[in-house]
Amino acid sequence: MSDELTQDQISRVLHGISIPPQPQIMVDLQMEQMDPHFSLERVAKLISQDVGLAGSILKTVNSTFYGLSNKITSINQAVNLLGLKSVVNLVNALSIKGELSDEEIVAMGKFWDSAMDIAQAASVIAKQIGYGQTDEAYTLGLFHNCGIPLLMMKFKNYPEVMLEAYAQPDQSITDNENATISTNHAVVGYYVAKSWNLPTYLCEAIHQHHNAEKVMTENNPDTRKKTLIAILKMAEHICGNSKIIGNQQDDHEWDRIQEHILMYVGLSHYDFSGMRQQIYDMGISTGSYNF
């Protein structure tokens, strides 16, 4: 975050919230990534040791997003097609699930689905607007709400807190969370990302993703974080995030920030509508399920 918290402030923010440790397979993959002689074959072997993870990788590569004519059944093939960065992203996202009980995972099934949809939409948007690091946009899409399941584990009324936050037309979602539970999913997500050694600009984008209006208007020479947040907000809106998380037909946050976002990325409303239709046509879900 731009203003670093003291250790005491961090302890208060995270009181009673367990930040999941970075899983061993994630450590192994990072070590493999740093090896100048790394091979995707060894990566595939690591993935294959975890049946659940291997299944998730295959499910992803065989989704409509990739549009393959033939189903992939080999982890080697899947890893070669996805590439190391995408595999690492998926392992990170799936590790949040590992901290939840089977009942909680089932109850939040739509949450996981929506995170994947937003990540895929963000990747498409990044490519369309000429942002070369599509994998960064994908990572942010997967991780931006990673604090939500952790807060659900601590606060039984958290779903109601989110409904109330998304229903406010003039107040930011995180401000509303702070007023109710004295913390918010963006700051918790920031510490998850930081503890898992994600790049600083991605950690900060996670922390600030509900302060887009401020980010868009600040005079900051580092445009990477600003661009990533703009991409994320477009992806969230297209995928119906306010409906999924907040059960709102109207996206109040998008109403407040859309002019700033579209102006920053250089899109007209007509251009944005065309991009949204393209994402719909790719089969990426657009808020047809509720949180």
- In this predicted model, what pLDDT tens digit does every residue of 14-71 receive, in sequence order? 666 655 555 667 667 767 777 777 788 888 888 877 666 777 778 778 877 777 777 7
pLDDT digits (tens, 9 = 90+) for 14-25: 666 655 555 667
Does residue 189 lie in a domain region?
A: yes
In the prediction, which pLDDT does 285 show? 64
Distance of CA 26 to the CA centre of its chain: 17
Q: Do 87 and 105 fall into the same domain?
A: no
What is residue 6's DSSP assignment? Answer: P
Are 111 and 236 in the same domain? yes
Q: 253: which 2 tokens?
A: 């946050």
Cβ neighbours around 173 below 10 Å, total? 25
| Mean pLDDT calculated for residue range 100-122 | 67
The pLDDT tens digits of the residues spanning 252-272 come to 999 999 999 999 999 999 999
CB 20 within 8 A of CB 149: no
- Whether 115 and 72 map to the same domain: the answer is no
Q: Whole-model pTM? A: 0.75
The tokens describing 109, both together, are 């099934």
Give the integer Cα–Cα distance in Å for 284 and 238.
Answer: 10
Range of the domain at 68: 21-98
- The interaxial angle of helices 185-195 and 200-207, nearest 10 deg, is 170
How far apart are the C-alpha atoms of 5 and 93, rounded to whole Å? 25
Domain end marker among 98, 122, 148: 98
Residue 183 domain-assigned (yes or no): yes
